[in-house]
Chains A and B, each alone.
Chain A
Amino acid sequence: MSRQYIIRRLLIAIPSLLGISIVLFAVLAMAPGDPFEELATNPAVPPEVRMALRAKFGLDDPIWSRYLHWLAAMLQGDWGFSFASRMDVDKLILQRLPVTLIVIGSSQILAILVALPVGVLAATKPYSVFDQIANTLAFIGFSLPTFFTGLLLILVFSIQLDWLPFVYRSDIEAKGWLFYWEHIKQSIMPVTVLGLFQGASLVRYVRSSVLDVIRLDYVTTARSKGIGERKVITKHVVRNALIPVVTLVALQMPIVFGGAIVTEQIFRVPGIGSLLISAMLANDTPVVMGVTFVFACLVVLFNLIADILYGWLDPRIAFR
């Protein structure tokens, strides 16, 4: 794992970020609606003034120049002003981002904790009863949309059993251990919903990846040397089988963010996903653009992390 490899990966990430920013800008530029539309119908504003305003804010400039201006503003952290929340967009997003990252992060950990053992066990005994059950459950898991699982969990654990709160509160008054306990309690359901959905598709990837490796000659060699089955699986098989899984976890990040938006909306978690929805319903375009851009950056970042991890797990790739 060389420094060169990391630098090369970083350089590859830049064009994809630029590409994403072009797509975002194109969507925004193609969108109907003119910020000065209201002025056009206002008889008190003469058309010359409107034209002058358009020229002043660069709306008549060629599209590439508008794009460069927009990009420069985004890079400088000048993301605009949220009309609904009465504060700068970048501050608003920074305020909401940690909650989202914590929820997504813990759900990913949960997904891996579930999917790894189940997938490996299923692959070591393919077509067994355990394998069949695991596969069927995995199918059910990723066929259940997150918004429905969320409502089901609320129905069972909040309404029927009354164990867990279904509204995420950020103003918990308790102190010390109780504070953390309340936070854990209200995070259980959102994290479970996201984690199980993610884990369900991960199980299948882990299984097929382990199945690919377990047939290789070096595994037979390890067995014939008299190494115990458990050790063969954990030390020889799983290590190599995990390499493609790491990439898949990162490539699934766009889907995870989609799930996060839904779960945040259901459980009213104050993260950037629910911010996006409320901004859309309130027609708060600067916030919408900012949050979408943050999501795009996060996806690129996770792809980068996957690439670097990939190079670390499989040194052959770093030397390619």
Chain B
Amino acid sequence: MAGSTPASLSAEAPRVAAAAPRKSRPVTPAREAWRRFRRHRLAVASGVVLLVMFAAVALGPLIWPVPINEIDFTAKLQGPSWAHPLGTDDLGQDLLARLLYGGRISLAVGLAAMFVAVFVGVLVGALAGMSSGRMDAILMWLTDLFLSLPQLPLLLLVIYLFRDTMKGIFGVEGGAFILIVIVIGGLRWMPVARLVRAQFLSLREKEFVEAARALGASKTRQVVQHILPNALGPVIVAGTIDVAAAIIAESTLSFLGLGFPSDVPTWGSVLRDAKDYLDIAPHWALFPGAAIFLAVLAINFIGDGLRDALDPRRVL
């Protein structure tokens, strides 16, 4: 696999010399993957960009301690300046503070929804892959059914119907967060389930699993110790792409006014408020839009690099 053609073309052409491992250190799969990942320059650059974004939203509010909801009508709709590096909105609220705060929510939603999707997907895929016959057929029918659901309308429908109850139980912000994460994750597990099932079907017949079976390993042990670690590569790739998709989904919901309420500034809801002032305050819309775009692009490139690193046979 060392000399294989990288699946994506953003990577450099493979170097034969690089295939020879250094003698001093043992070549673990993780190190091998990291070596392949490093060759994808855009992915590495994206990793840096994403780390900076995470650091900014995590530490930014400490360095830039401007309240997100301080209304100042004397400074409304201002462009970038020293007092407000990203300008202000129609209430004179500082956009940098709002975007830093919103980034926390948007990135957290993306990660949490990805975990939900991967968890459900691995569970369904593993169940279907290990139990052939009727169980497999039913689970795959369910997966196909979910794949043919119209995602965004259903997403909107569920949030429309349940948001008031969730708000009552978990509060405005917490309720919206839990609901959005569960719904986005619950509508995105299908590709993971199919990947995992396909991997399981071939892996469970491999000799090393047969050997484990012959040694008397229980089914759970076979799955957890032997099959799952080998099936994880494509799942990690799919999970990475899912983070980007979840960020877009959350921003879309907030943009349409059905995600987080406007007083909770996520990137999507800031953009929603900004869209009516495009002609007089374009900066207001450009910064949150650029933030979403940058995060999603970086995550997609990282996913591409991970695909080269972990799943070198796939050509897409």
The reply to whether the CB of A148 lies closer than 8 angstroms to some CB of chain B is yes
Contact with B along A24-37 (1 / 0, CB 8 A): 10011001110000
A314: shortest Cβ distance to chain B, in Å?
20
Chain B residue at smallest Cβ distance from A132: B9
Q: How many Å lie between the Cα of A159 and that of B13 in the bound state?
A: 44
A254 near B149 (CB under 8 angstroms)?
yes
Q: Which of A15-23, A88-96, A110-118, A223-231 forms contacts with chain B? A: A15-23
Residues of chain A contacted by B51 (CB below 8 angstroms):
none
Question: Are the CB atoms of B148 and A303 closer together than 8 Å?
Answer: yes
- Where the two chains meet, the residues of B that have a C-beta atom closer than 8 Å to any C-beta of A are 8-10, 13, 42, 141, 144-145, 147-154, 156-158, 160-162, 164-165, 244, 248, 251-252, 255-258, 268, 271, 275, 278-279, 282, 285-286, 289, 292-293, 296-297, 300-301, 304, 315-316
A144 at the interface (CB under 8 A from B): yes
Q: How far is the CA of A3 from the CA of B79 in the complex (A)?
A: 65
**B248 contacts A145, C-beta separation under 8 Å:** yes
Q: Which residue of A lies closest to B248 (CB)?
A: A145
Check B285–A155 contact: CB distance below 8 A.
yes
Decide if B301 touches A299 in the complex (CB within 8 Å): no
Residue of A nearest to B294 (CB): A143
Distance of A148 Cα from B271 Cα, bound (Å): 8
Residues A135 and B8 in contact in the complex (CB < 8 Å), given A143-B297, A147-B252, A147-B255: yes
Binding stretch for chain B, among A45-53, A172-180, A287-295? A287-295
Question: Are B148 and A299 in contact (CB-based, < 8 A)?
Answer: yes
Q: Are A143 and B8 in contact (CB under 8 A)?
A: no
Shortest 3 CB-CB contacts between residues of A and residues of B: A258-B152, A31-B161, A148-B289
Binds B, one of A66-74, A75-83, A235-243, A274-282: A274-282
**A266, B289: Cα distance in complex, Å:** 14
Residue of B nearest to A262 (CB): B252
Q: Which residue of B lies closest to A280 (CB)?
A: B160
| Among listed A57-65, A188-196, A204-212, interface-contacting one | A204-212
Q: Which of B8, B153, B278, B316 contacts A291 (CB 8 A)?
A: B153
Partner of B304, one of A27, A139, A154: A139
Q: Is the CB of A143 within 8 A of B157?
A: no
Task: Determine the distance from Cα of A135 to Cα of B315 in the docked complex, in whole angstroms.
Answer: 13
B-side interface mostly: helix
Alpha-carbon distance between A257 and B150 when the two chains are bound, in angstroms: 7
Q: Is the CB of B258 within 8 A of A292?
A: no
Closest to B282 in A: A155
Q: Which residues of B contact A277 (CB under 8 A)?
A: 156, 256-258
Q: How many angstroms between the C-alpha atoms of A152 and B289 in the bound complex? A: 9
Assess the B154–A292 pair: CB atoms within 8 A.
yes
B271 touches A292 (CB 8 A): no
Q: Which of A31, A155, A205, A276 contacts B153 (CB 8 A)?
A: A276
Residues of A within 8 A of B296 (CB): 143-145
A143 to chain B, nearest CB (A): 4
| Interface pair B147/A251, CB less than 8 Å apart | yes
Interface members, chain A 260-286 (any B CB < 8 Å) = 261-262, 265-266, 276-277, 280-281
Q: Are B148 and A16 in contact (CB under 8 A)?
A: yes
On chain B, the residues within 8 Å of A308 by CB distance are: none
For this complex, 12 residue pairs linking A to B, each with C-beta atoms less than 8 Å apart, are A16-B148, A23-B145, A135-B8, A143-B244, A146-B252, A148-B292, A151-B275, A155-B286, A258-B150, A262-B152, A277-B257, A292-B153
Q: Which B residues lie within 8 Å of A211 (CB)?
A: 315
Q: Are A261 and B300 in contact, CB atoms less than 8 angstroms apart?
A: no
Which residue of A19, A132, A140, A296 contacts B297 across the interface (Cβ within 8 Å)? A140
**What would 9 more interface pairs be, CB under 8 Å, given A145-B252, A254-B152, A299-B148?**
A24-B157, A32-B162, A139-B304, A143-B297, A144-B293, A208-B315, A251-B147, A261-B256, A280-B160
| B152 & A151 in contact (Cβ 8 Å cutoff) | no
Q: Which residues of A contact B252 (CB under 8 A)?
A: 145-147, 258, 262
Contact A295 B153 (CB under 8 A): yes
**Residues in chain B near residue A155, CB distance under 8 A:** 278, 282, 285-286
Chain B contacts for A132, CB-based, 8 A: 9-10
| Residue in A131, A151, A288 whose Cβ sees the most chain B Cβ within 10 Å | A151
Pick the residue among A32, A208, A303 that contacts B165 (CB under 8 A): A32
